[in-house]
Structure formats: structure tokens, C-alpha cells
Amino acid sequence: MGPVALVREVTDSFTRCVTRRPAVPPLDPKRARHQHLRYRSALEMGGFEVRVVPGDEAHPDGCFIEDAAVVVGEAALIARPGHPSRLGESGPVADALSELVDIHTLDHGALDGGDVLQVGTTVFVGVGGRTDAAGAAGLEAFCGGMRRRPVRVPVESALHLKSGVTALDESSVLWHPDSCDRAVFAGLRVVAVESDDPEAANVVRLPDGRILLGAAHHRVADQLAGLGYGVVACDTSEFARADGGLTCLSIRLRHLPSQSLRR
Ligand code: GLY
């Protein structure tokens, strides 16, 4: 089957999302839902089949579904989010993923999917923020059987590794200078965003090859277009106020086996 993206409904409790700074004015679930619909449409227009996991009012951050699991090839590792309020988000996500891929479960440590960046056969894992050494070790063990090369990346100021660096294709990354040490990406093309644009490097690769980026980041749009990428913009500013980026809002399964038609 073709590429699938899982997204999760925005709940009324979105007003209580974990944020590093209080949101002023308060977070607006209605506005977030409106932007979420546009985000889903952009994923569909780019070639994903979008599946929606029901929300749970007990988990305001559940719409940031990416943190709940990591899919590598034909298997998913159900993660253990590093913020205590986010433990318990994963059940319905695991149920949805079990229709598509094999399920493995991290049993100790902390791992947020937002700290996991896959580029080609390398799996970079950001450690030091939400993800700890035990969580990274669990991910490394999971990757071991799948011919993937795990690489740890110290994360200091960013919430997640992918807050500041994401993949553009199988051999290129879009990187913000404050996100992590550029040297870990030796052998890959590194496209640097302007240092005064900290959220600009969080983009989603669409199956059709275009890059989905935040609507406010015009300079990056021009930069990527100049490098030959097709770009499409999406406004997810209400989620940004809740410390979430474009990648946080979906789990993308790009390479599903044909037997994944499990229902
Ligand atoms: N609000 C997203 C997070 O802190 O994980």
C-alpha cells in the first residue's frame, strides 16, 4: 500500500498543552482544529493516505502524535514520552499502527518520537532533552535488527532534535545552527536556515517530493525553491504556540509492505 500518515484529533483540553512559556492569549482549540484540517489536506495532496486517531481529553498534547511512536521500515516502536503528562498517550496510537506494521514497545527510559530523525538508513536520536540515554538505547536495540545505523546527537536548547533539523530527502537535511552540531551530519548535504528563524527547519517531506513548511517561513521557502525543491506552505501557528511543529502532528509511514492491508 502507499504512504500513510497518522494524525490525532485536537481535543478541547488543547488549552492545557505543555508549554515552555505560558501561552498568551490562551491556546485556542477551535483555531487549532481549523489549522489541523488544512494540515491533513496538505498531507493528502502530497500523497499520504491520512488516518485519524481519536483524541483523548485526558491528553492535551495527544495531537502531537509523532512523539508517541517511531516507525522504522515495517515496524513501530511505541515510545515513552519524556514529559510525565504525556505518558499514557500511546495506547490508541499503537492500536492504529498495529493495523499497518509490527509493534514493539519501549519498556523503560524516555523517548519522544520528535527526537528521532531518519535520513536514508541512518537514525539520528537526540538525547538530553525529552529523550534520555535509556530511551536512546532502547531505540538503538530496535534499530539493530533493521539494518539501520543509529547515531546519538546531543540536544541542548531545542525541545526536540527535529525542532531544529529535518530531512529534505534521503541525503539532505534542513538544519538550524542552534539545534545541534552540524558535524554529526557528515556525508549528508546540510542546508542551513537563517539563525534568526528557529522554527524554520521543521519541515515534512511529502511523498511527491515536495516540502511542507510553515507558512511564516518565506525565506526558507525561497531558499528551498532555489535548490529545486517544490514547496507547499501550511499555517500551524496555533500548534507552534503549544511548542509543536509540523512534524509533531503526524507519524509518517512511507514504505509499507503490501501485506500491510491488515483490515
Ligand atoms: N506541547 C508539546 C510538548 O511539550 O511535548
Q: Where are the domains of the chain?
A: 4-253
Q: What is the rounded CA–CA span in Å between residue 206 and residue 48?
A: 7
For position 169, what pLDDT does the model report?
97
First to last CA, the chain: 12
Compute the average pLDDT of residues 232-240.
Answer: 97
For position 13, what pLDDT does the model report?
98
Residue 255 Cα to ligand 1 midpoint, Å, equals 27
Cβ neighbour number for residue 242 with a 10 Å cutoff: 22
Residue 208, C-alpha cell as written in the block: 511527491
Reply yes or no: is the peptide bond before residue 25 cis, omega within 30 of 0.
yes
Compute the average pLDDT of residues 136-143.
Answer: 96
- The answer to whether 213 and 237 are in contact (CB under 8 A) is no
For position 156, what pLDDT does the model report?
84
- Which amino acid residue places its CA nearest to atom 4 of ligand 1? 18
Cβ < 6 Å from ligand 1: which residues? 17-19, 61, 64, 83, 242-244
Q: Which atom of ligand 1 is nearest to the CA of 242?
A: 1
For position 260, what pLDDT does the model report?
52
Residue 213 Cα to ligand 1 midpoint, Å, equals 19
Longest dimension (CA), the chain: 47
Q: Which atom of ligand 1 is nearest to the CA of 20?
A: 4
Residue 263 pLDDT > 80, yes or no? no
pTM score, two decimals?
0.95
Q: Which atom of ligand 1 is nearest to the CA of 81?
A: 5
Residue 42 pLDDT > 50, yes or no? yes
Residue 34, C-alpha cell as written in the block: 481549523
Between 263 and 37, where is the model more confident?
A: 37
Residue 17 Cα to ligand 1 midpoint, Å, equals 7
For the 4-253 domain, the top CATH level (class) is alpha beta
**Which class for 53: exposed (0-12), middle (13-18), buried (19 or more C-beta within 10 A)?**
buried
Q: Identify residue 178 by its one-letter amino acid code.
A: D
Residue 138 pLDDT > 90, yes or no? yes
From start to end of the chain, where are the E strands?
Answer: 4-8, 49-53, 69-72, 75-78, 102-105, 116-119, 122-127, 149-154, 165-169, 172-175, 189-192, 204-205, 211-214, 231-234, 251-253
Q: Which residue, 223, 243, 245, is CA-closest to 235?
A: 245
Compute the average pLDDT of residues 189-194.
Answer: 97
Residue 92 pLDDT > 90, yes or no? yes
**Ligand 1, from 20, 63, 64, 90: best to mutate by most atoms within 8 Å of Cβ?**
64
Total number of residues shown for the chain: 263
Residue 114 Cα to ligand 1 midpoint, Å, equals 10
Residue 111 Cα to ligand 1 midpoint, Å, equals 13
Q: Which residue, 158, 188, 153, 192, is CA-closest to 175?
A: 192
**Ligand 1, from 15, 59, 86, 115: best to mutate by most atoms within 8 Å of Cβ?**
86
**Ligand 1, from 17, 89, 160: best to mutate by most atoms within 8 Å of Cβ?**
17
Q: What is the rounded CA–CA span in Å between residue 122 and residue 120?
A: 6
For position 147, what pLDDT does the model report?
87
- Which amino acid residue places its CA nearest to atom 1 of ligand 1? 18
For position 157, what pLDDT does the model report?
84
Residue 224, C-alpha cell as written in the block: 528551498
Q: Phi first, then psi: what are they for 104, rounded to 5°? A: -120, 155
Residue 136, C-alpha cell as written in the block: 536512546
Residues marked as catalytic: 160, 248
- Residue 160's pLDDT band (cuts 50, 70, 90): very high
> Residue with C-alpha cell 538508513?
121
Residue 97 Cα to ligand 1 midpoint, Å, equals 21
